[in-house]
Amino acid sequence: MADRRLPAPLLLALGLVVLVGAAGLSIFFGSHSIAPKETWRLLWHPDDSVLSGVIHEQRIPRTVLTAAVGASLGLAGALMQALTRNPLAEPGILGINAGASLAVVLAVAIAGVAGIWFYLWFAFLGAAVTAVGVYFLAGVGRASATPVRLALAGVAVSAAMTALVQTVILADQVAFNEFRFWVVGSTEGRGWPVLGAVAPFLLVGAALALLLGPALNAMALGDDTAQGLGVKLGRIRTGTMISATLLCGAATAAVGPIAFVGLAVPLAARALAGHDQRWISVLSIVLGGAWLLSADVLSRVVIAPQEVQVGVVAAILGAPIFVAMVSRRKVVSL
């Protein structure tokens, strides 16, 4: 049977069109109603008006940050699915989200910290420490950190940390009040400073992920075949873990946990592009950015002038799409 998939370069071009369109909507539409003609004028000719400030100081940086976070989560999900050889895997399988959440809760409960800038660094530190712990736990004993052991270790650590989070927030009302706003995931109020803080981690993680594409393709053929092709399994798995941790940890630190992007986006990229990890990674970047931007636009306009957290909208959009994709086609092992 002939392969009816569109060529990967064409898919990438179409994806970029969708991403640019979503970015345009994010700049032109928001909880503050501004006429499209006025938005276009102020976009190219900013002045000292309040509307110009809304566009250049709020919407544009928020658009760039949202696209970067969506792209990073999509790419991290693609890495996790390739590493674990499980098409239903996502970044949370390493316990990254749970580690970030626990770090934020402990920082609030013990140190009394508050505000995005404190959450940012505690969340990233928690994500990184958890990922390292999962990797070493999976490699305990004589066995190496195989995909199955990584997944099992990640699930176990995530469950334990989630239980600790619930214990702390039930015992500390202040921690609960602070945590419930962060944990739903929101891009509101995030601008250039937050993007600047996480951008180095996102860029390094993305560059490493793209470099790992050929080796991950070889590993998809099996460990023995990959070793026969000269792939250093331990190094590639370690590099993949580092890349996913940088991407997901920094994205989670910036806006809070966002569900379904890291699960559904790479699944869609794989369905569109086939099994070449290089194209899956690139498409996951583009589709992830477009997905989260679309969710963010809806979060701003659905009950304007109020906003819904983007994490809520992303989950509402992602759940039915994910169920439809899984039910309409057979999800095969990688």
Residue 333 within any structural domain of the chain:
no
Q: Is 235 exposed, middle or buried (0-12, 13-18, 19+ CB in 10 A)?
A: exposed
The overall average pLDDT reported for the chain is: 84
Q: Flag the least confident range among 140-154, 155-169, 307-321.
A: 140-154
pLDDT digits (tens, 9 = 90+) for 257-296: 888 888 889 988 988 888 889 999 999 999 999 999 999 9
Q: Is 3 within a domain?
A: no
Characterize 35-56 residue by residue with b for buried, 16 or more Cβ atoms within 10 angstroms of its Cβ, and e for exposed: eeeebeebbeeeeeeebbebbe
Under 8 Å between Cβ of 191 and 62: yes
142 burial via Cβ count (<10 Å: 0-12, 13-18, 19+): exposed
* pTM, 2 dp: 0.88
185, pLDDT greater than 50:
yes
pLDDT at 314 over 90: no
Q: What is the pLDDT of residue 114?
A: 67
Cα dihedral 70, 264, 4, 85 in deg (nearest 10): 110
Domain that holds residue 120: 8-328
- At 2-59, the pLDDT tens digits run 456 788 889 999 999 999 999 999 999 887 788 889 989 988 988 888 888 889 988 9
**In total, how many domains does the chain have?**
1
Structure tokens at 211: 């470099």
Per-residue pLDDT at 334 exceeds 70: no
pLDDT of residue 60: 94
Q: 247 or 87, which is more confident?
A: 247
CA–CA distance, 134 with 149 (Å, rounded to integer): 9
CA distance 69 to 290: 10
Any idea what the CATH number is for the domain that residue 58 is in? 1.10.3470.10
334 located within any domain: no
Look at residue 282 and tell me if it is in a domain: yes
Give the model's pLDDT for residue 113. 67
Pick from 138, 103, 333: which is nearest to 240 by CA? 138
144: amino acid identity, one letter: S
- Domain annotation covers residue 1: no
> Considering the domain boundaries, does residue 2 fall inside one?
no
Strand residues in the chain grouped as ranges (E): none
Q: Is residue 35 part of a domain?
A: yes
Average pLDDT over residues 69-98: 85
> What mean pLDDT is predicted for residues 173-195?
80
pLDDT of residue 1: 44
101-150 pLDDT, tens digit per residue, is: 888 888 888 877 666 677 778 888 888 888 888 878 877 655 566 767 77
> Residue 53 falls within a domain, yes or no?
yes
For 32-46, 176-190, 293-307, which range has the lowest pLDDT when averaged over its residues?
Answer: 176-190
